[in-house]
Chain A
Amino acid sequence: MAVTAKTLDETEFFYGHKACAGCGGSLAVRIALKVLGENAIAVLPAGCMSAVGFNYPQLCFGNNAIISTFAGTASMLTGVQAGLKAQGITDFHAVGFAGDGGTADIGLQALSGAIDRNDDILYICYDNEAYMNTGIQKSSLTPFGARTTTTPAGKNIHGNLRQKKNMFEIVAAHGIPYAATASVGYLNDFMRKVEKAKSIKGTKYIHILAPCPTGWGVKTDETVEIAKEVVDCGLWYLAEYENGSFTLNHEPKEFSDVSDYLRKQSRFRHLTDEDIEIIRKSRDAKWEFIKKNFK
């Protein structure tokens, strides 16, 4: 039976942490652990979720959990699953929760290695589009135009000049058994994907967009709304990769206005109409690709 908000386990496995109000990342971790259940063994690198959850003696995970090195989420997951397997234990789910910096920047090599070995792990990237734990610095998943503390928006440069790295397709290019994108704005879709990943042997990767009100400059009660809107305006998409092909899970009939989405967030407030036009064009190019290559 598919997990829904109604059938979701009431047990809390990530509880009593000190994440900021409205944190999208902590919502993703909490929901994923409910779907995976008590035999989940979580590995989290240095980053927001480990900083808010592992402060001795206040340890917030009800299941097994460990902080890895920043670059070592996937490699430690590999060791955890190999260690348990060697001891004849099979009824567990080794799951990693790493942010965008921990995944697409410093942790990419280890992740690539784990996928290459097809280790039996689930890697969840909670993408809040910058190094939020250190105070909003650009990562390779920071979108074009976003202001961060290392991509200031001034007269000469309007925030981040680079496009967001395409982690989903990078992971898929390894020939991974299962990969998916998700958003905390569409939690049922995310829960379904975690549940599916739970039943697949080998490496699984889920990339969930998880807004950070502090870093994005939205109100703390707008997390879910803005995470919906990024999908509805077409700047993010819900898809899966399985058996060598891509599937689009949700196709907006028509996109909501990109500039509405951008203007709500203080990180984009400096953008000119020309900047927004660049973003719109890159969205359209992406969707052209999706329509051509995704089922």
Chain B
Amino acid sequence: MARKFLSGNEAFAYGVRLARPQVISAYPITPQTIVVEKLSEFVEDGSLKSEFVHVESEHSALSCAMGASSTGARAFTATSSQGLLYMAECLPYAAGGRFPVVMMNANRSTALPWNIYGDQRDSLSQLDSGWIQAYAENAQEALDLALMSFYIAEHKKVSTPFMANLDGFVLTHTYEVVDVPDAEQADEFLPSFETDNKMSLSNPKNLGFSAGPDTNTYFKYKEHTGLLNVREVVKEAEIRFEKIFGRHYSGLTESYKTDDADYILITLGSISGLVREIVDRLRENGERVGLLRIRYMRPFPNEEIARAVRNAKAVAVLEKDISFGNEGTVYTNVNSALQKAGINIPAANYIGGLGGKNISPQEIENIFEELKQEETAVRFLGIGVR
């Protein structure tokens, strides 16, 4: 193990190197670019043996990764924002084809207006594409997620593509001290990619076919089941990971001081670090508050959320997203989890951080203060409207 001072992007690239993808398709887009730059350096210096393909677009990046995966090769690509939307056609294609491609997405606002800074509207708009979606909080988790994503995606019970999300700039470009595992340990953790879902010369197959009304639902049900299986495979991967690397992860969500909390703020991604600090500060004043961080948006942690908030008086969802004409998408999903579990408590939605707008500690304190009013409402942070 080595300790390095790395940005989120670099940490993820180190994690990808440990996973030894056989094919990498690369196309630049801010704020993801550093990932493919770093990987090209690893290929150049010989520390990563990989077919490095300079594709001419994001659509081709994912199409190429699918092609590689369809021959049984481990494949990686990375994108962000407009790039993710440009390759959108390939997202359900990869999921339906059950090609366990791993992709890093640097969360960034989507045009118009143009904006290169971080919010989560890009990935959350693609929630229904059939991909596993995870959100890292810090650079260490980014590296660890890179390694785990291949294990989870390629697992025989899953065989589903994996989108690992890092908040643009706040996480992708922020430097932290990161433990970089040894290659031997990584090899012990991550088996080589084995699949029957491939074209091989000894056993020719026709893949990517049409399935009409009679059979289509069977394929879609299998796809759904594969994604649901991620729940147990994440557990398995994290136990294995902790045994080898000594770092613990808590599955689809992470609860922080929720057990006796009256008011819980639910969020995802890098903002969780700040919320944790505010929770500690308010706890010092005797306030019973907690944080529930969503680590995986797909599969969605319905049970985990219900368990964590069961005794709360009210919850709020803070997200860098808005589904125009309705509310934040994370909020919609959380409400569905509460309703299914029969939990009838007020739930508020705070839309913040759009286009990289800073979310201040004071604003988070205010959310906890407002939560005491136990209202169900959708509010935008920091623009002076109620």
Which residues of A are at the interface with B, using a C-beta cutoff of 8 A? 38-39, 41, 43, 50-51, 53-57, 59-69, 71-72, 74-87, 89, 91-92, 109-110, 112-113, 116-117, 119
Of the candidates B22, B59, B68, the one having the most CB atoms from chain A within 10 angstroms of its own CB is B68
* A66 contacts across to B, CB distance below 8 A: 67, 70, 199, 206-208
The residue from A54, A85, A110 contacting B59, defined by CB atoms under 8 A apart = A110
With the chains together, A53 CA to B206 CA distance in Å?
10
**Chain A CB within 8 A of B6 CB:** no
B67, B75, B205, B209: most-surrounded residue (chain A CB, <10 A): B67
When C-beta atoms are compared, the residue in chain A nearest to B212 turns out to be: A55
Q: Separation in Å of the A78 CB from the closest CB of chain B?
A: 5
Task: Give 5 new A-B contacts, CB below 8 A, not counting A66-B208, A79-B66.
Answer: A63-B204, A75-B63, A83-B72, A87-B22, A110-B56
Question: Nearest Cβ in chain B — how far from A45, in angstroms?
Answer: 10
Q: Which residue of A lies closest to B193 (CB)?
A: A87
A79 touches B67 (CB 8 A): yes
A76: B residues at CB distance < 8 A: 63-64, 66-67, 70
Bound complex: CA A86 to CA B71 (Å): 10
The residue that A54 contacts in the complex, of B51, B53, B89, B210, with Cβ under 8 A, is B210
In whole angstroms, how far apart are the Cα atoms of A119 and B56 in the complex? Answer: 13
A206 to chain B, nearest CB (A): 20
Contacts of B89 in A (CB 8 A): 69, 71
List 22 A–B pairs whose Cβ atoms lie within 8 Å, in order of A's numbering: A38-B201, A38-B204, A39-B201, A50-B210, A56-B210, A56-B211, A61-B204, A64-B200, A64-B207, A66-B70, A66-B208, A71-B63, A72-B59, A75-B55, A75-B59, A76-B63, A78-B60, A80-B199, A83-B68, A83-B71, A91-B201, A92-B201
B158 interface residue (CB < 8 Å to A): no
| B209:A69 contact, CB within 8 angstroms | no
B349 interfacial by beta-carbon distance below 8 Å: no
Interface set of B (CB-CB < 8 Å, partner A): 22-23, 25, 50-51, 53-57, 59-61, 63-73, 75, 89-90, 93, 199-201, 204-212, 215
| Smallest Cβ-Cβ distance to B21: which chain A residue | A86
Contact: B73 with A87, CB < 8 Å?
Answer: yes
Report chain B residues within 8 Å CB of A81: 67
Contacts of B61 in A (CB 8 A): 75
Q: With contacts A54-B206, A54-B210, A75-B63 known, is A86 near B68, CB below 8 A? A: yes
Cα–Cα distance between A109 and B63 once the two chains are bound (Å): 13
- Complex alpha-carbon distance, A66 and B65, angstroms: 14
Contacts of B54 in A (CB 8 A): 117
In the complex the two chains form, what is the Cα distance from A87 to B20 in whole Å? 12
- Are B209 and A80 in contact, CB atoms less than 8 angstroms apart? no
Query: Cβ of A113 and Cβ of B209 under 8 Å apart?
Result: no
Minimal beta-carbon separation of A169 from chain B (angstroms): 20
Q: Is A79 in contact with B201, judged by CB distance below 8 angstroms?
A: no
Contact between A113 and B204, CB atoms less than 8 A apart: no
In the complex, how many angstroms separate the beta carbon of B230 from the nearest chain A beta carbon? 24
Nearest chain B CB to A61's CB is how many angstroms away? 5
Report Cα–Cα, A24/B90, bound state, in Å: 30
Q: Answer whether A64 and B93 are a contact pair too, CB < 8 Å, given A55-B210, A71-B59, A84-B71.
A: no
| Residues A54 and B63 in contact, CB atoms below 8 Å apart | no
Closest 8 CB pairs of A and B: A79-B67, A113-B56, A83-B73, A83-B68, A72-B63, A75-B60, A86-B22, A83-B71
Docked Cα-Cα span, A62 to B204, in Å, equals 7
Whether A68 contacts B206 in the complex (CB less than 8 A), given A78-B55, A80-B199, comes out as: no
B67 pairs with A112, CB closer than 8 A = no
CA distance in complex: A79, B53 (Å): 8
Nearest residue, chain B, Cβ from A67: B208
Least CB distance, B58 to chain A, in whole angstroms: 10
- Given A86-B68, A87-B73, A109 and B209 touching (CB < 8 A)? no
Do residues A72 and B60 form an inter-chain contact, with CB atoms below 8 A?
Answer: yes
Please name all residues of chain A whose beta carbon is closer than 8 Å to the beta carbon of B93 when the two chains form the complex: 69
Cβ contacts under 8 Å, A91 to chain B = 201
Closest to A65 in B: B206
B64 cross-chain contacts in A, Cβ below 8 A? 75-76, 78-79, 82
A113:B199 contact, CB within 8 angstroms:
no
Is the beta-carbon distance between B23 and A86 smaller than 8 angstroms? yes
Complex Cα spacing A30 to B65, Å:
28
Q: How many angstroms between the C-alpha atoms of A61 and B208 in the bound complex? A: 12
- Chain B nearest CB, measured from A107 CB (Å): 10
Contact indicator A54/B72 (Cβ below 8 Å): no
Contact A54 B68 (CB under 8 A): no
Give B59 Cβ to nearest chain A Cβ, in Å. 6
Distance between A100 CB and nearest chain B CB, rounded to angstroms = 20
Known A41-B199, A69-B89, A87-B71; contact A79-B209, beta-carbon cutoff 8 A: no
**Do A85 and B51 have beta carbons less than 8 Å apart?**
yes
Say yes or no: B67 contacts A80, CB within 8 Å. yes
Kindly report which residue of chain B lies nearest to residue A71, judged by CB atoms: B59
Contact B69 A69 (CB under 8 A): no
Please indicate the chain A residues that have their CB under 8 angstroms from the CB of B90 in the complex.
69, 72
Q: What B residues does A82 contact at CB under 8 A?
A: 23, 51, 53, 64, 67-68, 73
Contacts of B66 in A (CB 8 A): 68, 76, 79
Q: How far is the CA of A63 from the CA of B71 in the complex (A)?
A: 13
User: What is the minimal beta-carbon distance from B341 to any residue of chain A, in angstroms?
Assistant: 38
Given the complex of chains A and B, what is the CA–CA distance between A65 and B72 in angstroms?
14
Chain A hits for B71, CB < 8 A: 41, 79-80, 83-84, 87, 89
Q: How far, in whole Å, are A116 and B202 apart by their CA atoms in the complex?
A: 31
Contacts of A74 in B (CB 8 A): 60
**Hey, which chain B residues are within 8 Å of A79, CB to CB?**
23, 25, 53, 63-71, 75
* B210 partner residues in chain A, CB cutoff 8 A: 50-51, 54-56, 67
The answer to whether A54 touches B209 (Cβ under 8 A) is: yes
CA distance A80 to B210 in the complex (A): 20
Q: Which residues of B contact A92 (CB under 8 A)?
A: 201
Q: Which chain A residue has the least Cβ–Cβ distance from B56? A: A113
Closest to A112 in B: B56
